[in-house]
C-alpha cells in the first residue's frame, strides 16, 4: 500500500522527478522521438555502465557497412573473460551474426573480435568516443568495447545512455538484433543457439529491445526500449538491483499518462497569409492536462518582396510558456509563367498602368 500511494503522489508531478522512489542510483524515462524526459533520478550522474557499453560497439559495427563480411577469429580473443559466446581461434563468423552474440549473449569475446576486425581496439574505441560526442553524450567516456572494468572503465550517465539507445534504434538491424529472442548461427566449426538475456522481451509485451549489463563494480545496468500506440519510450537504470521490474513500472507510467499529440499542424496554421507554409507536422508527448497548455506563436519577417520558397519565419510551439519546438515557415510566390513571359501581357500592363 505504501509503495502504491507513493507512486500515485509522484505521478501528480509533471515532469516527474523521482528522488525517494527506489529506482537504483540513477534512472531516466525518455520519449524517443522528441527526447522529452518524463522521469529522472540523478540522470546526469556519471556511473560505470558495464555491458550496456555494447550498444555503442554495435552501432560502430553497423555503421562500418561490413556486417555482411566474414570475421576470422584471431589470438586477440584469448584476452576475453567473463560472459562469452566461446569463439575459437581461426573460426569464421559473419560480422552480423557476431553482433547477435554481442547483444543477446553479451559476448566479451565478440566485442574484442569486432573491435579487432574494424581497425583494432585503440582505433575502435576512438570511434566510440567520437560517435558519443556526435550524438550529444557529453558525460561519457569509453575505454574499451565490452564494459569490463577491472583494467579500464567506461563511464556514462542515464541521460547519455538514453541518447545512445535513441540513436541505435534508428538502425533497423540494431532493432532486429536486440528484439530477437532466439537466434541460431552456424560457422565453419560449430553451431550456436542463443537466447536473449533481456528478460523484458519475455515478460513485457511492448518491449522492442535493449541491453543488460553487470559487473561487481557497476552492479546491474539496463537499457531498454518499448513502444505502444505510437509512443516510443526508453528507460535506463544504473546500479539498480530491481531493474526489470522498475523498467516495467516506468513504461506503464509513461503509456498510461502520455500520448503523442499533434501540437503543430502544417495544414491548419492560424495565419491570414495563405501563401506561407510549413513542411512538417510536429508531435509531442503530453498528458491530458498538458494538452490545454500548448500555444503557438508565429514570427514572420515582413518585407516588400520575397523569393519563392524563401524561409520567412517560424512557428514557435510552447508548453506552459516554455518553447518545445520551432518549425520553419516558407512562402510560395510562384507566378503564372505564361503571363510573366507574354509580350502581349507586358504591353497591356504598360498601357493600363
Question: What structural domains and CATH numbers belong to the chain?
Answer: 13-257 (3.40.710.10), 261-331 (2.60.410.10)
pLDDT profile of the chain (353 residues), mean per 10: 44 43 88 98 98 98 98 95 96 98 98 98 98 98 98 98 98 98 96 97 98 98 98 98 96 97 95 92 98 96 90 97 97 63 47 44
To the query of whether residue 26 is one of the catalytic residues in this protein, the response is no
What is the distance between the alpha carbons of residues 20 and 110, in angstroms, rounded to a whole number?
A: 39
47, 54, 131, 211: which is the annotated catalytic residue? 54
To the query of whether residue 106 is one of the catalytic residues in this protein, the response is yes
* Grid cell for residue 69: 563480411
Neighbouring residues of 332: CB distance < 8 A, sequence distance ≥ 6: 275, 276, 277, 308, 309
pLDDT for the residue 341: 47
Radius of gyration (Cα) for the chain, nearest Å? 26
To the query of whether residue 123 is one of the catalytic residues in this protein, the response is no
What is the per-residue pLDDT across 223-238, written as a single tens digit (0 to 9) for each? 999 999 999 999 999 9
Q: DSSP letters of 254-266?
A: HHHH-EEEEEE-T
* Grid cell for residue 25: 542510483
40, 83, 106, 225: which is the annotated catalytic residue? 106
51, 83, 156, 225: which is the annotated catalytic residue? 51
Amino acid at each position: 500500500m505504501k509503495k502504491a500511494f507513493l507512486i500515485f503522489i509522484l505521478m501528480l508531478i509533471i515532469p516527474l522527478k523521482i528522488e525517494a522512489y527506489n529506482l537504483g542510483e540513477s534512472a531516466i524515462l525518455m520519449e524517443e522521438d522528441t527526447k522529452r524526459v518524463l522521469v529522472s533520478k540523478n540522470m546526469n550522474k556519471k556511473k560505470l555502465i558495464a555491458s550496456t557499453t555494447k550498444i555503442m560497439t554495435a552501432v560502430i559495427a553497423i555503421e562500418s557497412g561490413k556486417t555482411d563480411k566474414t570475421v576470422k577469429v584471431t589470438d586477440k580473443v584469448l584476452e576475453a573473460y567473463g560472459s562469452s559466446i566461446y569463439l575459437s581461434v581461426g573460426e569464421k563468423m559473419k560480422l552480423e551474426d557476431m553482433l547477435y552474440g554481442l547483444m543477446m549473449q553479451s559476448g566479451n569475446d565478440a566485442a574484442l573480435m569486432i573491435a579487432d576486425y574494424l581497425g583494432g581496439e585503440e582505433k575502435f574505441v576512438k570511434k566510440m568516443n567520437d560517435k558519443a560526442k556526435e550524438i550529444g553524450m557529453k558525460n561519457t567516456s569509453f575505454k574499451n568495447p565490452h564494459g569490463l572494468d577491472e583494467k579500464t572503465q567506461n563511464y556514462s550517465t542515464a541521460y547519455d545512455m538514453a541518447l545512445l539507445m535513441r540513436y541505435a534504434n534508428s538502425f533497423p538491424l540494431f532493432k532486429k538484433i536486440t528484439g530477437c529472442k532466439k537466434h541460431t548461427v552456424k560457422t565453419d566449426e560449430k553451431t550456436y543457439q542463443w537466447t536473449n538475456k533481456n528478460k523484458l522481451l519475455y515478460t513485457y509485451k511492448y518491449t522492442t529491445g535493449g541491453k543488460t549489463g553487470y559487473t561487481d563494480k557497476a552492479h546491474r545496468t539496463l537499457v531498454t526500449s518499448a513502444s505502444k500506440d505510437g509512443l516510443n519510450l526508453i528507460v535506463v537504470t544504473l546500479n539498480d538491483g530491481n531493474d526489470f521490474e522498475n523498467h516495467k513500472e516506468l513504461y506503464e507510467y509513461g503509456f498510461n499518462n502520455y500520448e503523442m499529440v499533434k501540437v503543430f499542424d502544417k495544414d491548419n496554421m492560424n495565419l491570414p497569409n495563405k501563401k506561407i507554409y510549413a513542411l512538417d507536422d510536429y508531435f509531442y508527448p503530453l498528458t491530458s492536462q498538458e494538452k490545454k497548455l500548448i500555444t503557438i506563436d508565429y514570427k514572420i519577417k515582413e518585407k516588400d518582396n520575397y523569393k519563392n520558397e524563401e524561409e520567412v519565419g517560424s512557428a514557435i510551439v510552447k508548453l506552459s510558456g516554455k518553447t518545445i519546438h520551432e518549425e520553419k515557415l516558407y512562402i510560395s510566390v510562384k507566378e503564372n509563367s505564361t503571363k510573366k513571359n507574354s509580350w502581349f501581357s507586358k504591353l497591356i500592363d504598360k498601357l493600363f498602368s
